[in-house]
Amino acid sequence: MKVTVISIPVRDQEKALKFYTEKLGFIKKLDMPLEGGNRWLTLVSQEAQEGPEILLEPAPNHFEPSKVYQDALLAAGIPYTQFDVDNVQSEYDRLTKLGVEFSMKPTEMGTAKVAVFNDTCGNNIQIVEIL
């Protein structure tokens, strides 16, 4: 068994696509139209283009429990998911210059350094560097 696709709930797929590609640097892999104006929209990391895909999932727009869960995580400041980076401080500096808003600046926590930002699509995302 292996991970091939992980979903991140987003309220606006086009806005999410722009943020995740232009700010975070992911690459669009698949973009197929679905019913109701939705898309099967996946991204991959530049560093692992054959690795797991991120599905920008429009579930909060069509499934109320998903929206409630997403809202609760955001309000509590809990990240929906995390991405590993080589250097949290340099990634924080790069993203801050691009206008990304962080709720947690780079902070050492034991054997890791973390920071948390808002993806503008309803989620807190954590970046992590293993020290």
Q: pLDDT tens, 32-49?
A: 999 988 999 999 999 999
In angstroms, the CA 79 to CA 126 distance is 6
Longest Cα–Cα distance of the chain, Å, equals 46
The reported pLDDT for the residue numbered 79 is 98
Residue 57: how many other CB atoms lie within 10 Å: 22
pLDDT tens per residue, range 73-124? 999 999 999 999 999 999 999 999 999 999 999 999 999 999 999 999 999 9
Average pLDDT, the chain: 96
Q: What is the pTM of this model?
A: 0.94
Mapped onto helix, strand or coil, the DSSP state of residue 117 is strand
The reported pLDDT for the residue numbered 89 is 98
In angstroms, the CA 104 to CA 80 distance is 14
The reported pLDDT for the residue numbered 26 is 98
- For 22, 81, 109, the CA distances from 128, given in Å and listed in that order, are 20, 11, 10
Residue 67 — left, alpha, or beta (φ > 0 → left; ψ -120 to 50 → alpha)? alpha
The residue extents of the domains of the chain are 5-130
CATH topology for the 5-130 domain: 2,3-Dihydroxybiphenyl 1,2-Dioxygenase; domain 1 (3.10.180)
Mapped onto helix, strand or coil, the DSSP state of residue 57 is strand
Mapped onto helix, strand or coil, the DSSP state of residue 65 is helix
Alpha-carbon torsion (59, 45, 24, 130), positive or negative:
positive
The reported pLDDT for the residue numbered 117 is 98
In angstroms, the CA 6 to CA 60 distance is 16
